[in-house]
Structure 1
Amino acid sequence: MMSTRRPAGALAAVLITAAATSVLSTPAHSAPPEATSKPPARAPVTCFATTCDGLDPIATHCVDDAVTIDDATVEGRIIRLRYSAECRAAWAQLWFGKPGDKAWVRAEDDDGNTVAKRIITVRPGDENSVYTLMVNDKDLRAHACAELPPDSNTACTFYY
């Protein structure tokens, strides 16, 4: 009596061929190649210059185009002056801070008068990095500083 069963090897070959064909074939409705190479759209910033003063750089999307202008170190901490050209605003970012450390950003006019200053104090449980709220930097200059207790050792960036 002849068997009507196919050998297991033949069945496996058919299944492998079917799987390879479905994996390697292009779907009928795939996106055109140029559509997949575009960068994702950025959210628009929500403030500019004076309207950014006192606001959060992340919430306003000013952080999206931000650059580090300068940084300084003091006792293992790094203070950075961050700047957004799109928002025309600046803020301080402190890395490796410890509870009680302070970071601030200060904006001043051409005569050296303080126009705005934003301060943050590192609290227990804060992550590796803290940052201040923003100051307007349009037609002003700003710098960032870190101050460490108990002796108030201080490091500052240059003005920008």
Structure 2
Amino acid sequence: MRTTLLIIFTALLGGCLGMPESVKPVTGFELNHYLGKWYEVARLDHSFERGLSQVTAEYSVRNDGGISVLNRGYSKEKKKWKEAEGKAFFVNSPTDGYLKVSFFGPFYGSYVVFELDRENYSYAFVSGPNTDYLWLLSRTPSVAPEVIEKFVRMSKERGFDTSRLIYVQQQ
């Protein structure tokens, strides 16, 4: 019985660390260039972000070698800011854009950077553990139309339902 519970618990903890079969993390990832503030330009909606505008994510190095994550968005309905603090760690190598992130204790989910402006780190396309999770992040509140077109094309090619994309209102 104890072994069965241990197997179930391990499966639950690691169950969200996969990625869509069609998604591959970028290689040559440089964390120091990725740190700092990012604006959410587009996403597939989820309950934890529903109704939020002005969404940002900030990444910084933790003392334990991990990465601090601070997600923030404004709820117009509630007229207040919502914040979530988390932590992230590389799953394989620090040069692969494949991390696990947690906002809820021991439970981690995948954070897979599958496209990146390598010259300036000005935009990133990010997937979660399956095709229900997708984000376009940028260093600025908006991006050029070509970046959105590339994001939609690459995401659609990888099986994401881009007809459900929400374009985040930024100020």
TM-score higher than 0.5 here?
Answer: no
User: Bigger relative contact order, structure 1 or 2, given CA contacts below 8 A and separation 6+?
Assistant: 2
Larger Rg: 1
**Normalized against structure 1, the TM-score is what?**
0.28
More strand by share: 2
**Normalized against structure 2, the TM-score is what?**
0.27
